[in-house]
Amino acid sequence: MDVAIKLVIGLICLVISINMSGKGNLAPLSAADQIQNYVLGGIIGGVIYNPDITIMQFLIVLLIWSGLIITMRILKTKNSEVRKWIDGDPIVIVNKGRMIPKNFKKANLSVTDFATMLRMQDIYTIKDVSRAQVEQNGHLTVLKKDNERLGFILVAEGSIDYDMLDLMDKDEQWLVDVFRNMGIESKEDVFCAEYYKGSITVYTDDMEKQTSPVAVMRKDPL
């Protein structure tokens, strides 16, 4: 009975964890997600068959773990620097068609593995790659040359992505001027800004400006 009760509690905790993460499963999107899964699995797996740990102690451990996770998520949402420290940044290994050897070492990725990952995306020569980066979860994101269908996220939750600006041969002042022309005085007021086919689309925290799919749009040739 003790094992059954612990198993039920663990199952409920897993369901709550999935719902709290906003995902349909526990597949990790970052290193922090992977660590959370390991810790949760260790807590549940290590406690269920241990008769020395009572149900009350099990509940207390789960509450402490949940509190730490909630606190971490709040900090990640409120502070971009904390988010970078916890989740890390994508590692750019190809930029503007040029490979960056030191970043290959940083990502622990060999050229052979890189070529294999390209072939898995139907890319058979590095010459077709304009930009490639290893995401926080280890997946490879590739931008092909002359690919106009891909949008660039320039600002996410008030934080500017300088790598994307560099890829577009633009700087922060250019982006600030674009925002001012839209009537937006500060980048902190921008929830998301995307560049796509010569247009800048900006979504703000003001819900009244998000009544349509395109909140604010301005044609600005690249």
Q: Is the pLDDT of residue 104 over 90?
A: yes
More confident residue, 67 or 94: 94
Residue range 195-211: mean pLDDT, rounded = 66
Q: What is the pLDDT of residue 221?
A: 38
Q: Which residues have a Cβ under 8 Å from the Cβ of 127 and sit 6 or more positions away?
A: 97
Q: What is the pLDDT of residue 26?
A: 56
Q: What is the pLDDT of residue 25?
A: 55
More confident residue, 104 or 47: 104
pTM of the model: 0.53
**Selection from 137, 133, 139, 124 nearest residue 153 by Cα:** 133
3-class SS string, the chain:
CHHHHHHHHHHHHHHHHHHHHCCCCCCCCCHHHHHHHHHHHHHHHHHHCCCCCCHHHHHHHHHHHHHHHHHHHHHHHHCHHHHHHHHCCCEEEEECCEECHHHHHHCCCCHHHHHHHHHCCCCCCHHHEEEEEECCCCCEEEEECCCCCCCEEEEECCEECHHHHHHCCCCHHHHHHHHHHCCCCCHHHEEEEEEECCEEEEEECCHHHHCCCCCEEEECCC
Residue type at 90 in one-letter notation: P
Domain boundaries for CATH 3.30.240.20 within the chain: 89-144, 152-219
Q: What is the pLDDT of residue 118?
A: 92
Buried residues in 99-112 as b, exposed as e (16+ CB within 10 A): eeeebbeebebeee
CA 56, chain centre distance (Å): 35
Sheet holding 91-95, edge to edge: 98-99, 91-95, 129-134, 140-144
Residue range 49-62: mean pLDDT, rounded = 82
Question: What's the fold here for domain 89-144?
Answer: CRO Repressor (3.30.240)
The two structure tokens encoding residue 166: 């560099």
Position 99 confidence tier, pLDDT thresholds 50, 70, 90: very high
Residue type at 79 in one-letter notation: N
Q: Is the pLDDT of residue 38 over 60?
A: yes
The chain-wide mean pLDDT, for the chain, equals: 77
Question: What's the fold here for domain 152-219?
Answer: CRO Repressor (3.30.240)
Q: What is the pLDDT of residue 150?
A: 67
Q: In percent, how much of the chain has pLDDT > 90?
A: 8
Using alpha carbons only, give the angle 141, 94, 137 rounded to the nearest 5 degrees: 35
Q: Is the pLDDT of residue 136 over 90?
A: no
Position 119 confidence tier, pLDDT thresholds 50, 70, 90: very high
Position 113 confidence tier, pLDDT thresholds 50, 70, 90: very high
**What digits encode the pLDDT tens for the residues 143-200?**
887 665 667 788 887 788 887 887 777 888 888 888 888 888 887 788 888 887 778 8
CA 159, chain centre distance (Å): 13
